[in-house]
C-alpha cells in the first residue's frame, strides 16, 4: 500500500447528526448515550478493520471498511484520507481528490494527504497544483514520499522550461538520494541543458572572447583532445593574460598530455608561476609543482611543495598521495600508509591512492589489508573502463581522457 494515514481519537470529527440527536432527545439521555457508544464502537471497529486490511495488502477490503465508517461518520478524517490514498495508488486521481479535500477540510495539517492531493491536482490539470506541491515538498519528512513529490515538482518546473527551479529541486533530491539512477539521469539532462543554454548565450554575446576560447578548450578536454585544447587555452591567454584560473588549467592540461616531457614540464611550471602571480597561491598549484619536481627527481623541492600544499589544505588528496610517494622512496612505509589512509578517506574512488596503499600494505606485511585495497583498485579501474567505453560510444570520433588514472599492477 505504501501509505496509511492514522488519526488520533481526539482528532476525529464527529458527525453533526449526533449533535442533533443529543439536542433533541435530552430527556432520554441514557438511551442516547448508549446508542452513541454503540455507533462509536462500530465506527472504531470499521476503522481498525480497514487499517488491518491495508497492512495485509487487501485494498478492496480496506476500502469497504472505510466506506462503512463514512456511513456512520460522513466527515471522518481517517476514512477519507485512506480512501484517497487507496484511489491514488490505483491511479484514480479523480476519485482520490474529493476524499483528500474532505480530509484536509477538517484536518489541514495532514501533510501526506496534501502532498498526494497536489499530485492529483497536477495530473488533473488544476491551477493550484504547483503551490500545493511546493508547500508539501518543503514540509514532508517521509523520505520516499518526499522523493516522489520532489520528482513531480521537478517535472512540473521542467515542462514549463524553468531549468533553474528544476535544478534546485534535483539538487535537494540528490542530497537525499545520491545513488538514484532516475534522478541522476534527470539531473544530467537538466545540467547539460543549463550548460548548453549558457554556452549559446556566451557564443552570441562574446563569440571571440577569451572566455569563449576557454570554454572551447574545456569541451575539447572532455572529448579527449588535449592537443587542440592547449591551442585554445593559449589563444585565451593571449586575449586576456590575467583571466582567473586560465594559467592553472593550461598547466594541468600540459601535464595531463605529456607528463614526462621536459618541455611540457617547463611550460607547465611557467604557467603555474603565472597562476600564483594572478590568482594567488593555493594547494592545487603547490601539488602540481610538487608533481613536476618529483618527475624531475628534485626530491627536496617536491617535498617542500607537497608539504606547503598539505599545510594549505590538509584535505587535499593530491598532496597526501605526493607525500606518501616521497615517504615510500625514503622507505618510511608507516608514514606513507598514514597519508594514503587520509587520501582514500577524502576521495574513496581515487584508484591511485588505493593502489599505492596496497603496495605499502604489502611492505608492512599487512596481507589482508593489501588484498582489500587491491580489490578496491580493480573495481574502480573496471568502473572507469566502463565509463571510458560509454564516452567512446557517445563520441565515436574521440577518445576521452580519464583523469587520475592509476598505474597497472
The per-residue pLDDT for range 298-323, each reduced to its tens digit, is: 999 999 999 999 999 999 999 999 99
Query: Which of 351, 363, 355, 294 is CA-nearest to residue 323?
Result: 294
The answer to whether the CB of 86 falls within 8 A of the CB of 70 is no
**Long-range contacts of the stretch 197-203 (C-beta < 8 A, 24+):** 197/163
Cα–Cα distance, 100 to 60 (Å, whole number): 18
Cα–Cα distance, 272 to 98 (Å, whole number): 66
Residue 152, all three cell numbers? 513531480
Residue 350, all three cell numbers? 581515487
* Residues listed for the chain: 409
Cα–Cα distance, 265 to 289 (Å, whole number): 9
Query: Which of 284, 259, 257, 260 is CA-nearest to residue 272?
Result: 284
Domains in the chain, ordered, with CATH? 9-140 (1.25.40.10), 198-345 (1.25.40.10)
Residues 6+ apart with CB under 8 A from 225: 398
Cα–Cα distance, 359 to 352 (Å, whole number): 11
- What stretches of 280-401 show up as alpha helix (H) in DSSP? 283-295, 299-312, 317-329, 333-346, 351-363, 367-394
Residues 6+ apart with CB under 8 A from 109: none
The confidence score (pLDDT) of residue 38 equals: 54
What is the phi/psi pair of residue 401, to 5°? Answer: -80, 135
The confidence score (pLDDT) of residue 25 equals: 28
Residue 328, all three cell numbers? 615510500
Cα–Cα distance, 141 to 147 (Å, whole number): 10
The confidence score (pLDDT) of residue 391 equals: 74
Burial class (CB within 10 angstroms; exposed 0-12, middle 13-18, buried 19+) of 159: exposed
Residue 110, all three cell numbers? 495532514
Cα–Cα distance, 62 to 79 (Å, whole number): 10
Query: Which of 311, 320, 315 is CA-nearest to residue 291?
Result: 320
The answer to whether the CB of 150 falls within 8 A of the CB of 169 is yes
Q: For residue 185, is it left (φ>0), alpha (ψ between -120 and 50) or beta? A: alpha
User: What is the torsional sign of CA 210, 216, 222, 225?
Assistant: negative
The confidence score (pLDDT) of residue 224 equals: 85
Query: What separation in angstroms does the CA of 390 have from each of 184, 336, 394, 400?
Result: 16, 35, 6, 10
Q: How many CA atoms lie within 13 A of 97 on its CB side?
A: 14
The answer to whether the CB of 140 falls within 8 A of the CB of 149 is yes
The answer to whether the CB of 230 falls within 8 A of the CB of 257 is yes
Question: What parts of the chain have a pLDDT lower than 70?
Answer: 1-39, 395-409
Query: Which of 1, 191, 215, 179 is CA-nearest to residue 87?
Result: 1
Q: For residue 280, is it left (φ>0), alpha (ψ between -120 and 50) or beta? A: left
Cα–Cα distance, 9 to 320 (Å, whole number): 61
The confidence score (pLDDT) of residue 208 equals: 92
The CB density around residue 408, as the number of other CB atoms within 10 Å, is: 7
Amino acid at each position: 500500500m505504501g501509505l496509511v494515514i492514522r488519526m488520533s481519537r481526539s482528532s476525529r470529527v464527529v458527525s453533526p447528526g449526533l449533535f442533533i440527536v443529543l439536542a433533541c432527545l435530552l430527556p432520554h439521555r441514557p438511551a442516547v448515550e448508549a446508542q452513541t457508544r454503540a455507533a462509536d464502537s462500530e465506527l472504531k471497529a470499521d476503522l481498525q478493520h480497514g487499517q488491518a486490511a491495508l497492512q495485509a495488502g487487501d485494498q478492496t477490503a480496506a476500502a469497504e471498511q472505510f466506506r462503512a465508517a463514512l456511513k456512520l461518520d460522513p466527515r471522518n478524517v481517517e476514512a477519507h484520507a485512506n480512501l484517497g490514498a487507496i484511489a491514488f495508488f490505483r491511479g484514480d486521481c479523480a476519485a482520490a481528490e474529493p476524499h483528500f479535500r474532505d480530509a484536509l477540510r477538517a484536518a489541514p495539517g495532514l501533510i501526506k494527504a496534501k502532498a498526494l492531493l497536489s499530485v492529483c491536482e497536477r495530473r488533473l490539470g488544476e491551477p493550484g497544483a504547483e503551490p500545493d506541491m511546493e508547500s508539501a515538498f518543503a514540509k514532508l519528512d517521509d523520505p520516499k514520499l518526499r522523493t516522489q513529490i520532489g520528482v513531480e515538482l521537478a517535472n512540473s518546473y521542467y515542462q514549463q522550461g524553468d531549468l533553474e527551479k528544476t535544478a534546485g529541486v534535483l539538487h535537494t533530491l540528490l542530497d537525499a538520494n545520491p545513488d538514484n539512477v532516475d534522478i541522476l539521469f534527470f539531473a544530467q539532462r537538466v545540467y547539460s541543458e543549463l550548460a548548453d543554454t549558457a554556452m549559446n548565450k556566451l557564443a552570441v554575446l562574446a563569440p571571440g572572447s577569451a572566455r569563449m576560447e576557454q570554454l572551447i578548450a574545456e569541451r575539447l578536454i572532455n572529448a579527449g583532445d588535449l592537443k587542440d585544447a592547449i591551442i585554445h587555452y593559449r589563444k585565451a591567454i593571449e586575449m586576456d593574460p590575467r583571466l582567473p584560473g586560465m594559467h592553472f588549467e593550461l598547466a594541468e592540461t600540459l601535464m595531463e598530455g605529456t607528463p614526462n616531457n621536459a618541455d611540457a614540464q617547463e611550460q607547465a611550471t611557467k604557467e603555474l608561476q603565472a597562476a600564483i602571480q594572478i590568482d594567488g597561491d593555493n594547494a592545487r598549484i603547490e601539488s602540481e609543482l610538487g608533481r613536476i619536481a618529483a618527475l624531475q627527481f628534485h626530491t627536496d623541492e617536491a617535498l617542500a611543495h607537497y608539504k606547503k600544499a598539505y599545510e594549505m589544505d590538509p584535505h587535499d588528496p593530491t598532496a597526501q598521495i605526493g607525500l606518501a610517494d616521497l615517504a615510500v622512496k625514503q622507505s618510511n612505509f608507516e608514514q606513507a600508509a598514514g597519508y594514503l589512509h587520509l587520501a582514500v578517506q577524502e576521495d574513496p574512488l581515487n584508484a591511485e591512492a588505493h593502489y599505492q596503499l596496497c603496495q605499502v600494505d604489502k611492505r608492512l606485511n599487512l596481507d589482508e589489508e593489501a588484498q582489500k585495497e587491491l580489490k578496491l583498485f580493480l573495481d574502480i579501474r573496471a568502473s572507469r573502463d566502463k565509463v571510458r567505453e560509454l564516452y567512446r560510444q557517445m563520441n565515436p570520433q574521440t577518445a576521452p581522457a580519464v583523469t587520475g588514472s592509476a598505474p597497472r599492477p
